[in-house]
Chain A
Amino acid sequence: MNKTAGKYHAVRRRKMSVIIILAVLLVLSMILALGIGSVFIPPTEVLASLLNALLPGLIDAPDGAADIIINFRMPRILLAVLTGIALSAAGAVMQGLLRNPLVSPFTLGLSSAASFGAALMIVLGPAVFGAFFAGSVVFLGFEFTTKSLMLILSAFLFGWLSVILVYFISRARQTSQAVMVLAGVVIGYLFQAGLLALKYVSNDDALREIVTWMMGGMWGATWQTIFILTPVVLICFLLIERRAWDLNTLSSGDDVARNLGINVDRFRITGLLIVSFAASACLAFTGIIGFVGLMAPHICRMLIGNDYRYLLPASALMGALILLISDTVARVILAPVEIPVGVIMYVLGGIFFLFLITRGHGRYLS
C-alpha cells in the first residue's frame, strides 16, 4: 500500500467513526425522547414497548406505557427525525450544487414557500376539490387520505418554485453569494405574507392549522404521515447519495466538472428537484422550520470535511439529532405548555448564522 492510500484510509476510518457515533447518539436520543414527557417512562420500559410492537408475543408490553409510546410519542419523534434528515441533506446538497455555503432550504425560501403551499391546500382544498379532498386511497395495504397527498404535492410545487426562482435570478445576473441568499430570504418573506393573508381570510378551523404552519412544529405527526414520508425521504436521500462524487467534482468548478464528464446544468436542476421534494414533503406536515439545513451540514463540514459521500449521511444524522433534541426541549421546557420547535430553531439557527457570517469568513465563506 502506498503512502497516499495509507493517508486516505486513515481519514476514511475517522469519517466512518464520526458517522457511527452520530447514529448511536441518534438512537439513544430517540429512546430517551420517547420516555420524556408529561408521563416519564424509563428507557427499559420504552425498549420493552418497542420490542412488543415489533415482535408481539416475545415480551409483554408494560401497562399504559406502550400506548403512549407507540401511538403518541413515536410518530412525533419519527417526524422530527425524518424532517431533520430531509432538511439537512437538502442544505448540504444545495450548498454544493450552488457552491454557496449560505444556502439552505430556509435561506432559499423553500421552507416558507412549501409551508404556504400546504396552507393554501388546507384553505382552498375543500372548496376546489370537494369530496375528492376528503377521500382516501389505499396503497400497499396502507390507507392514505387524499388531503395529505395533496398537501405534499402543493408544498412541493411552491417549494420548487421558490428554489428555481432564486437559482435563475442568481444565474441570470451572475450575482454574489450574499445576493443569492438575499433573494431567497425575500422570496421567503413573500410567501410568509401569503401565509398571513390566508390566515386573515380563512375560517376558524383552518386558521388554527395555519398558525401552526407559521411557527413550525411536530404536532402534525401521525403514523399515516410517517408511512408517507419515510419512503419519500429515504428514496430521495439514496438518489442524491449516488451522485456524491458529482457533488465533489462540482467543488472544482463548473469547467473542470464539465471536462470530467458531468452535465452540470442538468445535474443542478435534477439535484435541486430531488432535495426540494424531500424537504417540501416534510415541511408540508411541520410548517416553517428554519436553519437546521444550514447548521447540520456546517457542523459536519467542520468535523469530517467536504467529501459528500460521508458529508451527506453525517449531515442527515446530525440534522435529525438537532431537530429531535430541540423538539424534545420544546415539549418539556415550559410544561405543560409546549412551544413550537420552529421558535427554538430560529433562536439556535439565528445565532449560528451570525457566527457563520462573522467568524466563518475566510474559512467557510469567500
Chain B
Amino acid sequence: MKISVEHLTQMYSSHVVLDDVSFTTESGKVTALLGPNGSGKSTLIKTIADVLPMRGGRILVNDTDITTVPKAERSKMIGYVPQYFHYTSFTSVLDTVLIGRRPYMSWSVSDEDLEAVDAALSTMHIEDLAERFVNELSGGQRQRVFIARALAQNPEFFLFDEPTSSLDLRHQLETLAVMQDVVHKNNSGMIVALHDLNLALRYADHVVLLKDGSIYADGKPCDVLTTEAVRDVYGVESEVVEKETGRFILSYEPSY
C-alpha cells in the first residue's frame, strides 16, 4: 500500500498550519515525521487519520483519493495513536484494546476479534496487564496499550504521534523496535512523529522534515539529517558522528 500526500493545506480558522505539503510513503517502510514544535507534525498525522477534515490538496491511497473511500473502509486501512489522552473512566486493558476492533464489530464480539486482541497484547508484551485498569498503569505501559489497540485494528498503515514522548530511554527504544518489527514483518506502513533525531536515524527508513508547515527535506535519514538541516530547521548547532553502532547527531548549542 502507498500513501501519497499531494499539495496538502490545513488551517485552524485562518491560521495556516500546513502549506502545500507533498510526499509519498509506502508499506514496509518506517517514515519519521520530524520538525520543531508547531511545525505541523500532529496536524499532518491527524489529517491523514481522518481526525481533521481536509481543507486543500489530496491524499491518495494506492492512487485512490481517500475522501472517496467509505468511512468504514478507511478505518480498517489506517490506525492512529494520538500523542496524549487523559483517561477519565476505569476501563480494563482488554476492553481498551478491544475498541480497536470497532470497525469490524456490530454488537457482539467474535472469536476473530478476541484473537486479534490476544495477538496485539502479546506483540506488545502486555498479556499480564489484560485485566488491569488503564488509568492505573504507568505512562510506558499505557502507551503500549494504545499501540496494542492500533495493532488490534489491523490497519495497513499506522500513524503514531510522538509515541515515545512520555517514555524513558529503554521504553523509547523498545517501543520503536517493536513497531519497526511489525512494519517490516507484516509489510505494513507507518508514519511516526518524533522529536529525537537519533531515534529517527536508528529506526526510520524515510524521513520527512517539516519547517513552519512546509517540507524542508524528504528522503533517506542520512541524506536529510545534516548539520546544515538541523541548524536551518531547529536553530541548533550540531555535528554528525559515525560510530560502529551507527550514526548520531550531537547537538550542543542554539545557533544565533
A242 touches B107 (CB 8 A): yes
A256 touches B107 (CB 8 A): no
Q: Is A326 an interface residue (CB 8 A)?
A: no
B130 touches A259 (CB 8 A): no
Q: Is B168 an interface residue (CB 8 A)?
A: no
Q: Is B71 an interface residue (CB 8 A)?
A: yes
A255 touches B49 (CB 8 A): yes
Given contacts A2-B115, A101-B88, A245-B105, contact A252 B79 (CB under 8 A): no
A252 touches B99 (CB 8 A): yes
A273 to B109, CA, bound (A): 28
A259 touches B85 (CB 8 A): no
Q: How many residues of B contact A (CB 8 A)?
A: 44
A5 touches B118 (CB 8 A): yes
Q: What residue of chain B has the Cβ atom nearest to residue A99's Cβ?
A: B88
A259 touches B94 (CB 8 A): no
Chain A 228-242 interface mask (CB, 8 Å, partner B; 1/0)? 000000000000001
B49 touches A249 (CB 8 A): no
A252 to B149, CA, bound (A): 10
A262 to B105, CA, bound (A): 13
Chain B contacts of A5 at CB under 8 A?
A: 111, 114-115, 118
Chain A contacts of B88 at CB under 8 A?
A: 99-101, 251, 365-366
Q: What residue of chain B has the Cβ atom nearest to residue A177's Cβ?
A: B88
Chain B contacts of A44 at CB under 8 A?
A: none
Q: How many residues of A contact B (CB 8 A)?
A: 38
Chain A 87-121 interface mask (CB, 8 Å, partner B; 1/0)? 00000000000011100000000000000000000
Interfacial residues of chain A within 233-287, with CB under 8 A of chain B in the complex: 242, 244-246, 248-249, 251-256, 258-263
Q: Is B89 an interface residue (CB 8 A)?
A: yes
A263 to B53, CA, bound (A): 11
A306 touches B95 (CB 8 A): yes
B50 touches A256 (CB 8 A): no
Chain B contacts of A174 at CB under 8 A?
A: none
B153 touches A260 (CB 8 A): yes
Interfacial residues of chain B within 165-188, with CB under 8 A of chain A in the complex: none
- Report the minimum CB–CB distance from A240 to chain B (whole Å): 13
A253 to B84, CA, bound (A): 10
Q: What residue of chain A has the Cβ atom nearest to residue B89's Cβ?
A: A306
A251 to B90, CA, bound (A): 10
A8 touches B51 (CB 8 A): no
- Report the minimum CB–CB distance from B75 to chain A (whole Å): 3
Given contacts A4-B118, A5-B114, contact A259 B91 (CB under 8 A): no
Q: Is A364 an interface residue (CB 8 A)?
A: yes
Q: Is A73 an interface residue (CB 8 A)?
A: no
A-B pairs with lowest CB-CB distance, top 3: A261-B75, A4-B118, A259-B80
The 21 listed contacts between A and B (C-beta, < 8 Å) are: A4-B118, A100-B88, A101-B88, A246-B102, A248-B95, A252-B96, A255-B46, A256-B80, A256-B82, A258-B49, A259-B49, A260-B100, A261-B74, A263-B71, A305-B90, A305-B92, A305-B95, A306-B91, A307-B95, A363-B90, A366-B88
Task: List the interface of chain A (C-beta within 8 A of B).
Answer: 1-5, 7-8, 11, 99-101, 242, 244-246, 248-249, 251-256, 258-263, 301, 305-307, 309, 363-366
Task: List the interface of chain B (C-beta within 8 A of A).
Answer: 46, 49-51, 71-72, 74-75, 78-82, 85-92, 94-96, 98-100, 102-103, 105-107, 109, 111, 114-115, 117-118, 121, 127, 130-131, 149, 153
